[in-house]
């Protein structure tokens, strides 16, 4: 299932990771684990933030996906199922019966 993950990272926690030099390692592990098809990084509500588009194969895998964001980054996370334009068209076609 294609999933949109929006994360607002805790500033204090991320400042510690940046200052200690651990931020590239933490983000690298996260990117390697999630293998996003798209990733965007930007300021969000005055904090560091990012949006990832990832494929979540099972709903239960969301637990392992979200925990590092909460535990290591202190992030506020929003998870939303999403689809491409082609997938939307296919879904609309199914409505026609």
pLDDT along the chain (97 residues), means of 10: 94 95 94 93 97 89 86 94 92 87
The tally of domains found in the chain comes to 1
- Tell me the C-alpha to C-alpha distance, in Å, between residue 65 and each of 10, 22, 25, 42: 18, 19, 16, 20
> What pLDDT shows up at residue 1?
86
> pTM score, two decimals?
0.86
> What pLDDT shows up at residue 6?
97
Give the structural domain span for 57: 2-95
Distance (Å, rounded) from C-alpha 57 to C-alpha 54? Answer: 9
Write the CATH number for 33.
3.30.70.120
> What pLDDT shows up at residue 47?
96
> What pLDDT shows up at residue 61?
82
> What pLDDT shows up at residue 64?
83
Distance (Å, rounded) from C-alpha 50 to C-alpha 41? Answer: 4
């Amino acid at each position: 299932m294609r999933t949109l993950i929006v994360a607002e990272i805790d500033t204090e926690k991320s400042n510690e990771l940046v200052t200690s030099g651990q931020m590239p390692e933490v983000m690298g592990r996260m990117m390697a684990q999630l293998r996003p098809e798209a990733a965007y990084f930007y300021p969000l509500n005055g904090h560091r933030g990012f949006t990832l588009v990832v494929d979540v194969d099972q709903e239960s895998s969301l637990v392992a996906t979200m925990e590092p964001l909460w535990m290591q980054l202190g992030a506020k996370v929003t998870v939303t199922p999403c689809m491409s334009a082609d997938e939307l068209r296919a879904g609309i076609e199914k409505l026609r019966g």
